[in-house]
Amino acid sequence: MAKTKNETKVDGERELTFGGVWNYAPSPEGIDHFTIPKRCELFVGGEWIKPKTGEYFATVDPATEAVLSEVALAGDKDVDAAVKAAQKAFVGWRKLSGEDRARYLFRIARILLERQREFACLETLDNGKPIKETRDVDIPLAAQHFFYHAGWADKLELLFPGQSPEPLGVVGQVIPWNFPLLMAAWKIAPALAAGNTVVLKPAETSPLTALRLCEVFQQAGLPPGVVNVITGDGKTGAALVRHPGLAKVAFTGSTEVGKEIQRAVAGRSVELTLELGGKAAHLVFEDAALDQAVEGVVRGIFFNQGHVCCAGSRLLVQESVHELFVDKLRRRMARIRVGNPMDKNTDMGAIHSAAQLARIRELVGDGQASGCELYQPKCELPKKGYWFAPSMFTGVTMSHRIAREEIFGPVLSVLTFRTPEEAVEKANNTAYGLSAGIWTDKGARILWLAERMKAGVVWNNTFNRFDAASPFGGFKESGFGREGGRQGMRGYVRLQGGLLPG
Ligand code: NAP
Ligand code: MG
């Protein structure tokens, strides 16, 4: 990471004027003026504080490589201060009635929606994803998580009848860069609804919306220390999960780091939930509505540049329609508009970081070297920034790396099957188990398949649909624990007594 020492005092805000020096045209959704602080501090105990390390790092716009802001790098002492602030706040927060906690959460949700455009712009700039996705998916869904969980805050006794649900204490939460605000909402909303307090560590390359969310907390009058946000790198995350003051760790990210975290909490009385990687199978049967399936498959892999843990990255097509379906896909892919993420007509934005682009290139190179056939529609990619064209490999078998490893980019691997039994076998032949998709006209077949697929979420004749009320999470190397729905709330309470299983 690029670190900067706190030598020069940088104050004020950096102005982004659309259509001006930043060349962001047309103005997204009527916003023509936008400010980002030149320097972002840590949010601890309800205040913005300078890091004790004295160090800052840059976060960039992946579409232009321009530095958006310098962000505080939290070290061990900062982590400790944040956990202590959360411990102090826990005393009062847990005593509030559920109804009062709900009021705060409803207020946060409402303010988020009022500031939706600003959050959408900021997320798109810091992450590289298209404005139509941040505007229509990320921000509204983040608000929905606060609304939904506000609804549980005063109904915990109904949710866990006779089991005296109690909050756990301070929760340490570490999140990735692919849905920065949404992941923050997924983690913070249920934790607060259940009466816990939080220390959140956003990803190093996309910290800006989690920091701006702290402004919303202030605006909503959330008591100081109930949520603390500390920015930094992997070391900051590691220091947080090791801190003895935590009652729970909730992590979303790579399987590799998930395993490290599991080792870090081993032997301690700390609850743990892990949401990790995926390599979802997307099944298309010959009787499916093929044109609709094409749309689903395109959405399944190219949404958010394929930086989606549950992306439908392994397409399994029934052999009888393979050629026809691949031909339809090629034609549809040629119509994907790649470019300026701030343009509301853009379908696919920038790859999130240089490191992620290098990983995508490495795996695509491996696919080509192993004899798989690559298709990329012609598209002019900008010179500056990190870009990759939508890509599809045919002639892939289960032994290829591109069929086994998570690419986390806009790359589809196409395989074939003949019978439903073979489809299930191939779909489950992976170390992961997060999601899967099925396209067929036969309801009975959907039920038969869904029962046999080892995946936390199975979508039928749709893909990448999310709702705060439905639990999300994986099996095998995709992690454990659920987020969303009743099951998600279970991860944030301690149950005492009662006859019902937890
Ligand atoms: P990552 O490298 O695992 O990072 C995730 C977070 O952990 C970041 O905040 C990271 O900080 C931090 N971190 C790094 N090393 C750490 C350590 N030793 N201890 C504690 N925290 C540490 O993953 P990523 O590259 O950001 O995200 C991509 C991965 O996340 C993919 O594999 C994807 O499938 C998975 N993902 C899963 C879900 C899900 O719900 N299952 C959702 C989204 C993403 P830095 O940013 O500084 O590295
Ligand atoms: Mg960034």
Residue 293's contacts (CB-CB under 8 Å, 6 or more residues apart) are 284, 325, 439, 461
pLDDT for 3 equals: 53
The reply to whether the predicted model has a pTM over 0.85 is yes
Instruction: Give the number of the ligand closest to the Cα of residue 204.
Output: 1
Average pLDDT over residues 354-373: 98
202 alpha carbon to ligand 2 midpoint, in Å? Answer: 11
Identify which has the larger pLDDT, 264 or 344: 264
Residue written as token pair 């309470």: 493
Residue 221 amino acid letter = G
Q: Whose CA is nearest to atom 12 of ligand 1?
A: 234
Beta bridge mates, 392:
375, 412
69 alpha carbon to ligand 2 midpoint, in Å? Answer: 9
Query: Is residue 271 annotated as a catalytic residue, yes or no?
Result: no
Average pLDDT over residues 150-164: 96
Two tokens at 381? Answer: 């990619």
Task: Name the segment(s) of the chain with CATH classification 3.40.309.10.
Answer: 281-467
pLDDT for 21 equals: 33
Q: Say whether pLDDT at 191 is over 50.
A: yes
Question: How deeply is 66 buried, as exposed, middle or buried, from its count of CB atoms within 10 A (0-12, 13-18, 19+)?
Answer: middle
For the segment 404-436, what is each residue's pLDDT rounded down to a tens digit?
Answer: 999 999 999 999 999 999 999 999 999 999 999
Instruction: Give the number of the ligand closest to the Cα of residue 67.
Output: 2
Q: Whose CA is nearest to atom 34 of ligand 1?
A: 277
Beta bridge mates, 201:
174
pLDDT for 424 equals: 98
Q: Say whether pLDDT at 330 is over 70.
A: yes
- pLDDT band, residue 337 (cuts 50/70/90): very high
489 alpha carbon to ligand 2 midpoint, in Å? Answer: 31
Q: Whose CA is nearest to atom 16 of ligand 1?
A: 234
Closest CA to 252 of 349, 185, 297: 185
Instruction: Give the number of the ligand closest to the Cα of residue 433.
Output: 1
pLDDT for 33 equals: 62
Average pLDDT over residues 248-276: 96
For the segment 91-150, what is each residue's pLDDT rounded down to a tens digit?
Answer: 999 999 999 999 999 999 999 999 998 999 999 999 999 999 999 999 999 999 999 999
Provide the sign of the torsion angle of the four alpha carbons 311, 359, 261, 213, taken in this order.
negative
Q: Say whether pLDDT at 29 is over 60.
A: no
pLDDT for 83 equals: 98
Q: Which of 70, 133, 275, 483 is catalytic?
A: 275
Q: Whose CA is nearest to atom 21 of ligand 1?
A: 237
Q: Say whether pLDDT at 4 is over 70.
A: no
59 alpha carbon to ligand 2 midpoint, in Å? Answer: 4
pLDDT for 31 equals: 55
Substitution site in 178, 179, 261 for ligand 1 pocket (most atoms within 8 Å of beta carbon): 178
Instruction: Give the number of the ligand closest to the Cα of residue 59.
Output: 2
pLDDT for 35 equals: 82
Q: Say whether pLDDT at 499 is over 60.
A: no
> Phi/psi of residue 437, each to 5°?
-135, 145
Substitution site in 251, 257, 261 for ligand 1 pocket (most atoms within 8 Å of beta carbon): 257
Collapsed DSSP state (helix, strand, coil) of residue 189? helix
- pLDDT band, residue 496 (cuts 50/70/90): confident
Average pLDDT over residues 468-496: 95
- pLDDT band, residue 1 (cuts 50/70/90): low
102 alpha carbon to ligand 1 midpoint, in Å? Answer: 30
Q: Whose CA is nearest to atom 9 of ligand 1?
A: 203
Instruction: Identify whether the C-beta of residue 394 lies closer than 8 Å to the C-beta of residue 326.
Output: yes
Average pLDDT over residues 39-57: 97
Query: Cα dist. 69→38, 200, 204, 211, 340 in Å?
Result: 5, 19, 12, 12, 20
Q: What are the b/e assignments for 81-105, b being 16+ CB within 10 Å?
A: bbbbbbbebbeebbebebeebbbbb
Question: How much is the mean pLDDT over the chain?
Answer: 93
* Run of H or E residues at 146: helix 139-153
For the segment 210-223, what is each residue's pLDDT rounded down to a tens digit?
Answer: 999 999 999 999 99
* Pocket residues: Cβ below 6 A from ligand 1: 174-178, 201, 203-204, 233-234, 237-238, 241, 252-254, 257, 260-261, 275-278, 309, 406, 408, 434, 474
178 alpha carbon to ligand 1 midpoint, in Å? Answer: 9
pLDDT for 19 equals: 37
Q: Say whether pLDDT at 166 is over 70.
A: yes
Substitution site in 206, 254, 482 for ligand 1 pocket (most atoms within 8 Å of beta carbon): 254
Q: Say whether pLDDT at 81 is over 50.
A: yes
Instruction: Identify whether the C-beta of residue 212 lies closer than 8 Å to the C-beta of residue 108.
Output: no
Q: Whose CA is nearest to atom 15 of ligand 1?
A: 234
Residue 397 CA to its chain's centroid (Å): 29
Q: What is the DSSP letter of 472?
A: B
User: What is the second-level CATH architecture of the domain 281-467?
Assistant: 3-Layer(aba) Sandwich (3.40)
* Run of H or E residues at 452: helix 443-452
Instruction: Identify whether the C-beta of residue 487 lies closer than 8 Å to the C-beta of residue 336.
Output: no
275 alpha carbon to ligand 1 midpoint, in Å? Answer: 9
Query: Is residue 379 annotated as a catalytic residue, yes or no?
Result: no
User: What is the second-level CATH architecture of the domain 40-276+480-494?
Assistant: 3-Layer(aba) Sandwich (3.40)
pLDDT for 9 equals: 37
Task: Name the segment(s) of the chain with CATH classification 3.40.605.10.
Answer: 40-276+480-494
Q: Whose CA is nearest to atom 32 of ligand 1?
A: 254
Average pLDDT over residues 487-498: 90
Average pLDDT over residues 53-57: 98
Q: Which of 40, 309, 310, 372 is catalytic?
A: 309
For the segment 284-324, what is each residue's pLDDT rounded down to a tens digit?
Answer: 999 999 999 999 999 999 999 999 999 999 999 999 999 99
Q: Say whether pLDDT at 25 is over 60.
A: no
Query: Cα dist. 53→198, 212, 233, 291, 339 in Å?
Result: 22, 22, 13, 55, 38
